[in-house]
Amino acid sequence: MKFTAGIMLGLLLCGAASADELDLSFNSDAVRFEYVHAFSQNDLQASFGLLSNSDDGWVAAGSLYISGLASDGANPLQAALGGRTGWVNGDDSGQDGLPLALGGYLQYTFPRLSRVSLRGEAWFAPDALCAGDLDKYQDYSLRLAFSLLEQADLYVGMRYVRGDFSNGSQADFDDGAIIGINIKF
């Protein structure tokens, strides 16, 4: 509850900023909501998100990363690199923990199809970067997006989010196809 209150306070404090995003994606077992704030003074971005699985628990995460262009051209390759932490709660396992995952994303917009992009994202924390009952954290996704409006994308993709715990249990928070929407404001 305290973490949720902290996220809400952060959203209120960042409310006057521009170049922010809201992202909502789901499948039959899981839903993820994410808020992304882009700092106007530099290429730094921060995100706060919650992934909830109806059977296996939830992941509340905050990320801080540098993002920018990774190529030249009219439809450049965008990239980000940074860290993600938060709280991983494997409901049925009775286990929880804190990862310090490293990772980022690559996003390519197709030159002849400027409304279509492909994005891959990866975050990983081995045992040495985990605390509590958590031994390993993985968060991978791949999505194909269509820019329906200048500031709104619809996408389909795949997502795999998993936590391995010290008692030998595992929680697959998400491991399948997703559909989603991303709104920039």
pLDDT along the chain (185 residues), means of 10: 47 56 97 96 94 94 95 82 96 90 96 93 98 97 96 98 94 96 96
**Domains in the chain, start-ordered, CATH in brackets?**
2-184 (2.40.160)
- According to the model, what pLDDT value does residue 81 have? 98
Question: What whole-number distance in Å separates Cα of residue 170 and Cα of residue 148?
Answer: 37
- pLDDT for 39-89, tens place per residue? 988 899 999 999 999 989 999 999 999 999 888 766 679 999 999 999 999
Please state the length of the chain. Answer: 185
- According to the model, what pLDDT value does residue 75 have? 64
DSSP string, 26-78: E-SSEEEEEEEEE-TTSSEEEEEEEEEETTTEEEEEEEEEEEEESS-SSSPEE
- According to the model, what pLDDT value does residue 4 have? 45
- According to the model, what pLDDT value does residue 71 have? 84
- Residues in Cβ contact with 102 at an 8 Å cutoff, skipping those fewer than 6 apart: 82, 83, 84, 123, 124, 125, 129
The token pair at 185 is 């404001």
- According to the model, what pLDDT value does residue 12 have? 47
- According to the model, what pLDDT value does residue 139 have? 98
The token pair at 103 is 């990772």
- According to the model, what pLDDT value does residue 43 have? 92
